[in-house]
Amino acid sequence: MNPYLVPGMEGRPLAPLCPFQIDEHEDYYVPVDHCQQAFEEFQELIGDVAAQGGLVVTTGQRGCGKTSLINRCASWLSGQLDKAQIISLVDESSPSDPIEYRLRHVFSCVLDDVRSRQLLDADQLKGLEDRTDNLELGYRQLSSLLDPGTVLIILLPHSEDLTKEIAHYARFTRPRLVFFAESSYPDNVDRRWKDIAEACRVTPLLLRVGPLSEGDGWRFARARQERSELHPDAGVYRRVSEETMQRVTALPMSIGQLQNLLHGVYEEQRRDPPADDALELSYEEITDYFFRRSMDAGGQGSTL
């Protein structure tokens, strides 16, 4: 088997972990690139979202695991509440759509989910649909209409410049409404964070992830290898050593880049097993795969 294949993500090596959809994913998180620290910070600081609401923003470059972190936070928070409803809208809008369109589209999608889950009656929903021209009032009304024990955990769509949208959702935050957002532009978020915090009715949380730190590559590879050994169909495959992982991750790399690289190497070897019977995957085999893939992609591969 491929040790970097995660359940439910066949053919999608870069799909984020999502424990609120696949319970087993909770066991696949590895404490790398500050994600464990950020998760524990979230657990400590999120506060009483039923009474106050919340806004959580995760920042980090592409491939650093922002969406996986948000999904883990949302899953954990849902487990702490009696009647939490996770509404994932991460793929509901194109990042290049105008902000005003995206804001209205998210509100409409939230109402669709509220309707399908029968959280409000038809008359209440009709009143909310009439508020699309004033979303701050619409979210205020939605908050007041929800059952006191119900909390909506809303995962917002990706955006090219989320900082402007975050400022809007800071004003939309109300009791029983928790917004999760992510941005690949940490510096932009930092520059506007004071304004965002002042607009928000509760103290917003800023969670940061980043490139792999020293030792993270081996920590990740070791965790995946140990987990694969528990699988009944693990079979025989070449392990990767700590020394090799130190060489592979000597230059800055994200967890997404490493996952994609190792998944591809092992997938190729699974399809076309090497002729020799070596027990370890070599650094040269990994770099050979990387450069061949880069050439196939027109030289646009990630830096190794």
Q: For 221-253, how does the pLDDT look when each residue is reduced to its tens digit (9 = 90+)?
A: 999 999 888 665 656 678 999 999 999 999 899
- CB count in 10 Å sphere of residue 130: 12
Mean pLDDT for 114-128 is: 95
Cα angle value 205/71/81 (rounded, 5°): 75
In the prediction, which pLDDT does 90 show? 92
Percent of the chain exceeding pLDDT 70 equals: 94
Q: For 33-43, how does the pLDDT look when each residue is reduced to its tens digit (9 = 90+)?
A: 999 999 999 99
Q: Of all helices (H) and strands (E), which one includes residue 89?
A: none
Inter-residue contact 238 to 278 (CB < 8 Å): yes
What is the per-residue burial (b if ≥16 Cβ within 10 Å, else e) of 74-95?
bbbbbeebeebbbbbbbebbee
Nearest Cα to Cα of residue 2 among 217, 223, 220, 224: 224
Residue 58: pLDDT above 80?
yes
Reported as a pLDDT band with limits 50, 70 and 90, residue 68 is: very high
φ, ψ at 282 (rounded to 5°): -90, 160
- CB count in 10 Å sphere of residue 62: 10
164 or 65: which leads in pLDDT: 65
In angstroms, the Cα distances linking 198 to 36, 73, 138, 159, 201 are 28, 24, 21, 22, 8
Residue 303: pLDDT above 70?
no
Cα angle value 143/145/149 (rounded, 5°): 75
What is the per-residue burial (b if ≥16 Cβ within 10 Å, else e) of 235-253?
eebbebbeebbebbbeeeb
In the prediction, which pLDDT does 294 show? 76
Inter-residue contact 287 to 279 (CB < 8 Å): no
In terms of residues, how long is the chain? Answer: 304
Residue 302: pLDDT above 50?
no
- CB count in 10 Å sphere of residue 59: 25
Reported as a pLDDT band with limits 50, 70 and 90, residue 10 is: confident
Helix (H, G, I), strand (E, B) or coil at 16: coil
Average pLDDT value over all residues in the chain: 90
Q: Can you tell me the distance from the alpha carbon of 157 to that of 154, in angstroms, rounded to the nearest whole number?
A: 10
Q: Which residue has the tokens 């294949």?
A: 5
Percent of the chain exceeding pLDDT 90 equals: 70
Distance in Å from the first CA to the final CA of the chain: 25
Mean pLDDT for 295-304 is: 54
pTM over 0.85: yes
Q: Which of 9-13, 205-209, 255-259 has the lowest mean pLDDT?
A: 9-13
Mean pLDDT for 143-170 is: 89
Q: For 247-297, how does the pLDDT look when each residue is reduced to its tens digit (9 = 90+)?
A: 999 989 999 999 999 999 998 888 887 777 778 899 999 999 988 887 665
